[in-house]
Amino acid sequence: MDKVRIIEVKQNVLANNDAEAAKLREELKKKGVFLLNLMSSPGSGKTTTLKRTVQMLSSRYKIGVMEADIDSDVDARAISETGAKTVQLHTGGMCHLDASMTKQGLDELSTDGLDIAILENVGNLVCPAEFDTGAVKNAMILSVPEGHDKPLKYPLMFSVCDVVLINKIDTLPYFDFDMEKCREYIAMRNPSAVIIPVCARTGEGFEQWINWLSGQTDTWKNTKE
CA 219 – CA 224 distance, rounded (Å): 9
Q: Which of 95, 179, 187, 210 touches a second copy by CB under 8 A?
A: 95
- Segment interacting with a second copy, rule: CB under 8 A, options 5-13, 14-22, 79-87, 168-176: 168-176
Handedness of CA 138, 123, 17, 115 (dihedral sign): negative
Among 16, 26, 70, 211, binds a second copy (CB under 8 A): 70
C-alpha pair distances (Å), 223 with each of 32, 115, 127, 178 = 10, 14, 32, 39
Q: Is residue 143 within the footprint of a second copy (CB under 8 A)?
A: yes
Rounded to whole angstroms, the Cα distance separating 9 from 12 reads 10
Question: Which region among 57-65, 101-109, 139-147, 213-221 touches a second copy (by CB under 8 A)?
Answer: 139-147
147 in contact with a second copy (CB under 8 A): yes
Determine, following the binding rule CB under 8 A, whether residue 149 of this chain makes contact with a second copy.
Answer: yes
Q: Is the dihedral of CA 178, 183, 187, 190 positive or negative?
A: positive
Using the rule CB under 8 A, which residue among 163, 168, 186, 206 binds a second copy? Answer: 168
Residue 119, beta-bridge partner list: 37, 66
22/188 with CB nearer a second copy: 188
Regarding 130 and contact with a second copy (CB under 8 A), the answer is: yes
CA dist., res. 13 & res. 64, Å (int)? 27
Per-residue H/E/C for 59-120: CCCCEEEEEEECCCCHHHHHHHCCCCEEEEEECCCCCCCCHHHHHHHHHHHCCCCCCEEEEE
List the one residue from 4, 6, 56, 156 that touches a second copy (CB under 8 A). Answer: 156
Does residue 196 sit in helix, strand or coil?
strand
Tell whether residue 125 is a contact of a second copy (CB under 8 A). yes
The answer to whether 152 contacts a second copy (rule: CB under 8 A) is yes
Residue whose CB is less far from a second copy, 29 or 77: 77
Options 1-9, 18-26, 38-46, 215-223: segment touching a second copy (CB under 8 A): 38-46
CB of 216 to a second copy, least distance (A): 26
Residue ranges binding a second copy (CB under 8 A) = 41-44, 69-72, 74-75, 93, 95, 122-127, 130, 143, 145-147, 149-150, 152-156, 168, 170-171, 174-175
